[in-house]
A and B are shown apart, each in its own frame.
Chain A
Amino acid sequence: MNTLLRKRSTVSSFILAVSILILSYYIFISIWPILFNVYMSLSKTDLMTGWTFVWFKNYISLFKDPIFLKALVNNIIYLVVMVSVGIGTSLITAALIHKTSGFAKKAYLALFFLPVVTSLVAISLIWKLLYYPNVGVFASIISSVFQLNPPLFLASPKTALLSIIFMDIWKDTGLRTVILHAGMEEIPESIYDASKIDGASTLTHFFKITIPLLRPQIIFLAAVYSINALRVFTPIYMMTGNPPGGPAHSTQVLVMRMYQEAFYSTHFGKGAAIAMIVFVLLFALVILEVKSFQQKWEY
């Protein structure tokens, strides 16, 4: 056989090896587990004594369970605040940094980025102490500098969830800022010059030019952070004591409920059902975001 022809008609060993590696890894790590998880979510089992098929009983009992519903609502609040406030504040910091130049710009970016390259587990512990009620650092600053009555932060069901979200937003401000700032640098100055002649103010620039042109970055960040918010676990576990999710279930979230149903109460079927609900939410969100990404830009 002609060697040239053979080269064209056969798949190289590289293609074969890498595709088989990817395919088998994802079958093992994602596809089989999610199928197994579907089956499990329709069963009642503690993994020790038995395994009975119960159809949708787990789902029905979940939607009657006030703690689960609380976790669902909390998780949606987490997602909405994290995405909107997180991207909003980072847009402001990126716009401010964009106005600086030279060494100052580099220094600001580097400092804002610092918490990003550390560990969320460790940061949660630090902030848990900063949030210490009445005599902690934040409480002391609020009462002595601003002469206000400080909130109880993590100790009160009213403020606990927001305190955790605030810390989570703080941690990744630099990451979002760097991505948005990179997008701003790409926007040609000439676009602004044209509208300056028309007499547009800085704020008009920001809302009418900068934000629409940053659409790809903003959608990318919205996708990343809604996925992150839906699977949040670490800061809740680290900051809310024993058992996690308190006080009074005010910081319960879906993955925490899944973990507790499965590994504290040995309701593995219920845990698997919660996992399916998170999966469906994730799926819907990703589809929504891909759709809005594909939409034609209009401005």
Chain B
Amino acid sequence: MIKRRNLNKYIFLSTISKIGLHALLIIGSLFMVLPFLWMIVSSFKPNIDIISVGFKLFSPNWTLDNYRKVLSDMNIGRAYFNSIFVASVATAFTIFSASAAGFLFSKLKFWGRDALFFLVLGSVMIPPQIVLIPLYLMISKAHLVNSYPGLVIPFLINAFGVFLMRQFIYGIPNDLLEAARIDGASDWRIYFRIILPLVKPAIAVVGILTFLWAYDEFLWPLVVINNNAMMTLPLILGRYAMAEGGVVAGASMATTSLVLGPLLLIYFFFQRFFIKGISMTGMKG
């Protein structure tokens, strides 16, 4: 009897703790999602209903005015193009540089390899923010202020991508490469025909993260861009930062919705790549 009671108590307690567990996680998840929902809903409200006494999520005064204003006010189409173009170039270049460097550092032996790898390691300590001023001077001496090359140059190779690729390519069996080499394949051929097809998962991770970082980069464009045509999306958002929040609430939420839209859509479709890829990066540290 006593045993039976204990078992019931155990089942009861574990059900309670299960409910508690899910309750906590559901609250946490809501906290992650609700700000975005609030952004989208707010973008269809007049300013007065976004910041108002007595919080209401839904407003009776739906309006498209915010979007009309944003789309007519400034050249957001051009900013979209600038942002996506610059992020795509950075991503394409990073994928190639990172995978080639990863191959170099994991499978090929040559004089000075360790020193070169140390250089890549060390570059983590010199991010573009730290050398912002000299980098800006170099770019302006080269007349690349307000240009696409000026925007993209600091983001062509990144140490994180190189590490990840090196780790990943390290796992490819040497026999496979030796076999190709005996057949007379050059390192180029091995890189394009064997390495690249085998590292697709790593390419997905490095590609997605590089795109996100480049799309979201703020300080560098703030310094090298000063004309409207070359502005990227973060710079357009940056203008709202200087205004009093309540006055531009509707317009700024409409713009953030437009900026985040593509990202949320990409995430919705490729969600499993993100989680899998990131889990992979953490393994080796």
The answer to whether A74 has its CB under 8 Å from any CB of chain B is no
The answer to whether A62 has its CB under 8 Å from any CB of chain B is no
- Give bound CA distance, A186 to B279, whole Å: 11
B residues 252-267 near A (Cβ < 8 Å) are 252-253, 256, 259-260, 263-264, 266-267
Question: Cβ of A283: which chain B residues have Cβ within 8 Å of it?
Answer: 125
- Give bound CA distance, A238 to B245, whole Å: 11
Q: Are B281 and A179 in contact (CB under 8 A)?
A: yes
The answer to whether A227 has its CB under 8 Å from any CB of chain B is yes
Stretch at the interface among B58-66, B74-82, B171-179, B184-192: B184-192
Q: Are B131 and A100 in contact (CB under 8 A)?
A: no
Question: Cβ of B153: which chain A residues have Cβ within 8 Å of it?
Answer: 29
Are A36 and B285 CB-contacts (below 8 A) given A111-B29, A119-B259?
A: no
CB distance from B244 to the nearest CB of A (A): 8
Contact bitstring A24-66, B, C-beta under 8 A = 1, else 0 = 0110111111101100100000010000000000000000000
Stretch at the interface among B1-9, B100-108, B143-151, B196-204: B100-108
- Give bound CA distance, A116 to B263, whole Å: 10
Q: Which of B53, B119, B138 is A135 in contact with, Cβ under 8 Å?
A: B53
The answer to whether B39 has its CB under 8 Å from any CB of chain A is yes
Q: Are A119 and B234 in contact (CB under 8 A)?
A: yes
Q: Are B245 and A119 in contact (CB under 8 A)?
A: no
The answer to whether A136 has its CB under 8 Å from any CB of chain B is yes
The answer to whether A237 has its CB under 8 Å from any CB of chain B is yes
- Smallest CB gap from B211: residue in A: A117
Count of B residues near A, CB < 8 Å?
95
Contact bitstring B229-271, A, C-beta under 8 A = 1, else 0 = 0000110011011101110010011001001100110110001
The answer to whether A239 has its CB under 8 Å from any CB of chain B is yes
Q: Which of A14, A112, A173, A263 is B188 in contact with, Cβ under 8 Å?
A: A14
Q: Are A34 and B101 in contact (CB under 8 A)?
A: no
Question: Cβ of A231: which chain B residues have Cβ within 8 Å of it?
Answer: 127, 129-130
Q: Are A182 and B242 in contact (CB under 8 A)?
A: no
The answer to whether A109 has its CB under 8 Å from any CB of chain B is yes
A residues 108-150 near B (Cβ < 8 Å) are 108-130, 132, 135-137, 140-141, 144
- Give bound CA distance, A239 to B110, whole Å: 49
- Smallest CB gap from A220: residue in B: B285
- Give bound CA distance, A93 to B21, whole Å: 10
Contact bitstring A227-262, B, C-beta under 8 A = 1, else 0 = 100010110011101101000000000010011001
Are A140 and B54 CB-contacts (below 8 A) given A119-B234, A234-B218?
A: yes
Q: Are B119 and A227 in contact (CB under 8 A)?
A: no
CB distance from B279 to the nearest CB of A (A): 4
Q: Are B104 and A18 in contact (CB under 8 A)?
A: yes
- Give bound CA distance, A216 to B281, whole Å: 12
Q: Are B285 and A293 in contact (CB under 8 A)?
A: yes
Q: Which of B53, B55, B191 is A141 in contact with, Cβ under 8 Å?
A: B55
The answer to whether B85 has its CB under 8 Å from any CB of chain A is no
- Give bound CA distance, A192 to B108, whole Å: 41
Q: Which of A34, A128, A173 is B131 in contact with, Cβ under 8 Å?
A: A34
Q: Are B238 and A25 in contact (CB under 8 A)?
A: no
B residues 102-156 near A (Cβ < 8 Å) are 103-104, 108, 110-112, 116, 119-120, 122-135, 137-138, 153-154, 156
> Can you spell out 5 A-B residue pairs with CB atoms less than 8 angstroms apart?
A12-B108, A14-B191, A31-B126, A178-B275, A278-B129
Contacts A110-B271, A125-B241, A179-B282 supplied; 17 other A-B pairs, CB < 8 Å: A12-B186, A13-B186, A14-B187, A28-B138, A32-B134, A37-B131, A40-B133, A100-B25, A112-B28, A119-B215, A119-B216, A130-B38, A178-B278, A219-B285, A258-B132, A271-B133, A282-B130
